[in-house]
Chains A and B, each alone.
Chain A
Amino acid sequence: SQTIHQWPATLVQPVGSPLSLECTVEGTSNPNLYWYRQAAGRGLQLLFYSVGIGQISSEVPQNLSASRPQDRQFILSSKKLLLSDSGFYLCAWSVGREANEKLFFGSGTQLSVL
């Protein structure tokens, strides 16, 4: 069966510090991968999605970046965090080749930038 791992679960970082969040998927190959962010009490905002290694599409211009160095690994990074980067970050995957697409989410990372 497929599983998705996301870490860390919580993170407190000072403004201006770098960020690296990692997500890995097991049990499937060539998944579509996604990073979402959710501000407190708000809906999910799609940040990045990837359909293959090295293929990243950005939905929202910002100081975040994403990389996909391996087929089932997706990394969210920042060189200098802003206060506005605080939020709940979710990684998700989908099969990516079916009309009835379903998303499967990781457990999320609660990021607090102070």
Chain B
Amino acid sequence: LAKTTQPISMDSYEGQEVNITCSHNNIATNDYITWYQQFPSQGPRFIIQGYKTKVTNEVASLFIPADRKSSTLSLPRVSLSDTAVYYCLVGPNTDKLIFGTGTRLQVFP
């Protein structure tokens, strides 16, 4: 399974764009990149998933370069409610999905 590396924490202010980068140098050809968001005392929830180039939904954008060895989750105009831990997962259709340590995003007013 591809191992992921993310910054431990990031700070931002309301209204700013936040970019969280995940490194996955050993990503395999059939691996997808998936991001989850976790609030305190809740289970993680799916945010966005991609395989290559760019994916955008109503919550975030995911940028994946051609070599796929990293990916960047972009949160436009964050608010206080975006304060959470963000996890990057890389994997194919395997039987187990292992989370890294995640990035703790703190948004200030």
Known contacts A57-B96, A96-B93; A103 and B36 CB within 8 A of each other? yes
Chain B contact-residue range equals: 20 to 34
C-alpha gap A32/B97 in the complex (Å): 10
Q: How far is the CB of A40 from chain B (nearest CB, A)?
A: 10
Q: What 1/0 mask marks residues of chain A from 53 to 89 whose CB sits below 8 Å from any chain B CB?
A: 0000101000000000000000000000000000010
Within 8 A of A (CB), among B52-103: 85, 87, 89, 91-102
Q: How far is the CB of B77 from chain A (nearest CB, A)?
A: 25
Complex interface: chain A residues within 8 A of B85 (CB): 43
Complex interface: chain A residues within 8 A of B44 (CB): 44, 90, 103, 105
Known contacts A107-B42, A108-B41, A108-B43; A100 and B49 CB within 8 A of each other? yes
Q: How far is the CB of B20 from chain A (nearest CB, A)?
A: 15
Within 8 A of B (CB), among A87-114: 88, 90, 92, 94, 96-108, 110
Name the residue among A51, A57, A103, A104 with the largest chain B CB count within 10 angstroms.
Answer: A103
Complex interface: chain B residues within 8 A of A44 (CB): 44, 87, 99
Nearest A residue to B43 via CB reads A105
Nearest A residue to B97 via CB reads A103
Q: Given A46, A100, A105, A106, which contacts B96 in the complex, CB threshold below 8 Å?
A: A46
Q: Given A57, A108, A110, which contacts B95 in the complex, CB threshold below 8 Å?
A: A57
C-alpha gap A44/B49 in the complex (Å): 19
Contact between A43 and B46 (Cβ–Cβ < 8 Å)? Answer: no
Nearest B residue to A97 via CB reads B93
Contact between A46 and B99 (Cβ–Cβ < 8 Å)? Answer: yes
Nearest B residue to A106 via CB reads B43
Q: What 1/0 mask marks residues of chain B from 28 to 60 whose CB sits below 8 Å from any chain A CB?
A: 001010101000011111100101000000000
Give 10 nearest A-B pairs by CB, closest first.
A105-B43, A44-B99, A43-B101, A100-B32, A49-B96, A99-B93, A90-B43, A102-B46, A51-B95, A43-B102
